[in-house]
């Protein structure tokens, strides 16, 4: 983890999304797909917390060496401010943070599934897998054609791709879950990677467990500190020995998890959610986000 004063090299609008490319070699050279960066907000604004973004690209060599890119959908005051950032401004960046996707050791058929701007994370993963000789196929889903992130890049980065939209404005009408059974069979997928909304990830987890297909998912949760101190972004995860479960931090032990070990009912609020007890020496957080 490094902290950098990163210059904005490029600021773009990509449909409904925004993209910022930063010059931060001390961060970019360490990044792997699935990890994220923490971006500071301006001190003269009414922002208490940093904002956290999954990394879309990281260039370690060539003309773009030392740069990284993240994509976001401006929905709140923090991301709305970032949407107005221009080239040559500077941002306070910490990263890379969190765990990355694990790569198969053997040549493997990989199916990558995403919703909305989750595709930004998945495209980065696809580049790395293909560089290792893995076969990559994709399912890219969104609400409408405006929310499908860079579909041409998706086609370029996959052997085959299924694009689905809820309103049928691009690709097939439906959801990624509608396309999942066919794509798994057609591509003979041996591992599934996913970055999507929580209910979709849960359904993918159930599908893969039923068929005994290994899977990894990148989850989203509200974060405060982003570095593991506040314990506000925890997920209930079954221990490897099956003896119980622990509340693991999305920012530290995640955001990539084995979905078969997540207690989805408890995490999604189907069971009462309780504040975990942090280890001795950590500050106790008395509030719990809804």
What are the tens digits of pLDDT across the range 243-290? 899 999 999 999 999 999 999 999 988 554 444 444 444 333 332 222
Please report the pLDDT score of residue 285 as a whole number. Answer: 32
Residues 63 and 141 in one domain: no
Among residues 46, 75, 97, the one where a domain terminates is 97
Question: pLDDT band for position 92 (50/70/90)?
Answer: very high
In this structure, the answer to whether residues 83 and 117 fall within a common structural domain is no
Q: State whether 155 and 84 are in the same domain.
A: no
Question: Domain boundary residue among 70, 97, 124?
Answer: 97
The number of distinct structural domains making up the chain is: 3
Residue with the larger pLDDT of the pair 24 and 43: 24
- Average pLDDT over the chain, rounded to whole? 90
Instruction: Mention every residue, 6+ apart, whose C-beta is less than 8 A from residue 21.
Output: 8, 9, 10, 11, 12, 57, 64, 67, 68, 69
Does 123 share its domain with 211? yes
Q: Give the rounded percent of residues in the chain with a pLDDT score beyond 90.
A: 79
pLDDT, one tens digit per residue, over 161-220 is: 999 999 999 999 999 999 999 999 999 999 999 999 999 999 999 999 999 999 999 999
CA distance 136 to 115: 17
d(CA 109, CA 193): 11
Indicate whether 240 pLDDT > 50. yes
Average pLDDT over residues 115-127: 97
CATH number at residue 153: 3.40.50.80
Judgement on whether residues 131 and 82 belong to the same structural domain of the protein? no
What whole-number percentage of the chain has pLDDT above 70?
Answer: 90
Which domain CATH number covers 8?
2.40.30.10
For residue 150, what are the contacts with CB-CB under 8 A and spacing of at least 6? Answer: 14, 119, 120, 123
Q: Are residues 116 and 213 in the same domain?
A: yes
Is 19's pLDDT higher than 60? yes
Asked whether residue 63 carries a pLDDT value surpassing 70, the answer given is no
Residue 103 lies in a domain: no
Considering the domain architecture, whether residues 151 and 214 belong to the same structural domain is answered as yes
User: Both 185 and 232 in a single domain?
Assistant: no
Q: Which domain holds residue 28?
A: 2-97
Q: How confident is the model at residue 46 (pLDDT cuts 50, 70, 90)?
A: low
Same-domain status, 73 and 128: no
* pLDDT recorded at residue 47: 75
Average pLDDT over residues 93-98: 96
The answer as to whether 102 is a domain residue is no
Domain membership flag for residue 104:
no
Rounded mean pLDDT, 34-54: 88
**pLDDT at residue 40, as a whole number:** 94
| Domain match, 16 and 85 both | yes
Q: What residues have CB less than 8 Å from 71, skipping those under 6 apart? A: 14, 17, 18, 19, 53, 54, 56, 117, 120, 149
Q: What is the Cα–Cα distance from 283 to 273, expressed in whole angstroms?
A: 20
Domain co-membership, 211 together with 241: no
Tell me, what's the pLDDT at 42? 86
Report yes or no: 99 and 34 within 8 Å, Cβ to Cβ.
Answer: yes
| Stretch 59-87: mean pLDDT | 88
pLDDT, position 233: 93
Residue 144 lies in a domain: yes
Backbone Cα Rg of the chain? 19
Reported as a single tens digit per residue, the pLDDT across 141-163 is 999 999 999 999 999 999 999 99
Give the number of other Cβ atoms within 10 Å of residue 228's Cβ: 17
Token duo for residue 93: 């960046």
Are residues 152 and 113 located together in one domain of the fold? yes
Lookup: tokens for 130:
């293909």
HEC readout, the chain: CEEEEEEEEEEEEECCEEEEEEECHHHHCCCCCCCEEEECCCCCCCCCCCEEEEEEEEECCCCCCCEEEEEECCCCHHHHHHHCCCCCCEEEEEEEECCCCCCCCCCCEEEEEEECCHHHHHHHHHHHHHHCCCEEEEEEEECCHHHCCCHHHHHHCCCCEEEEECCCCCCEECCHHHHHHHHHHHHCCCEEEEECCHHHHHHHHHHHHHHCCCEEEECCCCCCCCCCCCCCCEEEEECCCCCCEEEEECCCCCCEECHHHECHHHHCCCCCCCCCCCCCCCCCCCCCCC
């Amino acid at each position: 983890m490094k902290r950098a004063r990163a210059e904005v090299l490029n600021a773009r609008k990509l449909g409904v999304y925004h993209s910022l490319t930063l010059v931060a070699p001390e961060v970019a050279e360490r990044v792997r797909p699935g990890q994220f960066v923490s971006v500071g907000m301006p001190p003269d604004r009414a922002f208490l917390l940093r904002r956290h973004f999954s990394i879309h690209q990281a260039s370690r060599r060539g003309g773009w060496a030392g740069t990284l890119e993240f994509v976001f959908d401006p929905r709140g005051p923090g991301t709305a401010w970032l949407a107005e950032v221009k080239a040559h401004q500077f941002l306070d960046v910490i990263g890379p943070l969190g765990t990355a996707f694990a790569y198969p050791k053997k040549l493997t058929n990989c199916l990558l599934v995403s919703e909305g701007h989750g595709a930004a994370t998945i495209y980065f993963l696809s580049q790395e897998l293909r560089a290792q000789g893995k076969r990559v196929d994709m399912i890219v889903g969104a609400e409408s054609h405006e929310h499908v992130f860079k579909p041409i890049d998706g086609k370029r980065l996959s052997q085959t791709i299924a694009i689905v939209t809820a309103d049928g404005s691009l690709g097939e009408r439906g959801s990624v879950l509608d396309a999942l059974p066919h794509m798994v069979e057609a591509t003979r997928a041996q591992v599934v990677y996913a970055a999507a909304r929580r209910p979709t990830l849960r359904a993918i987890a159930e599908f893969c467990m039923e068929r005994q297909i290994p899977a990894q998912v990148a989850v989203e949760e509200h974060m405060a500190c982003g570095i593991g101190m506040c314990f506000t972004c925890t997920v209930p995860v079954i221990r490897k020995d099956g003896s119980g479960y622990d509340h693991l931090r999305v920012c530290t032990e995640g955001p990539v998890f084995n979905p078969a070990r997540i207690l989805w009912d408890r995490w999604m609020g189907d069971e009462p959610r309780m504040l975990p007890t942090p280890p001795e020496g950590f500050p106790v957080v008395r509030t719990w986000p809804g």
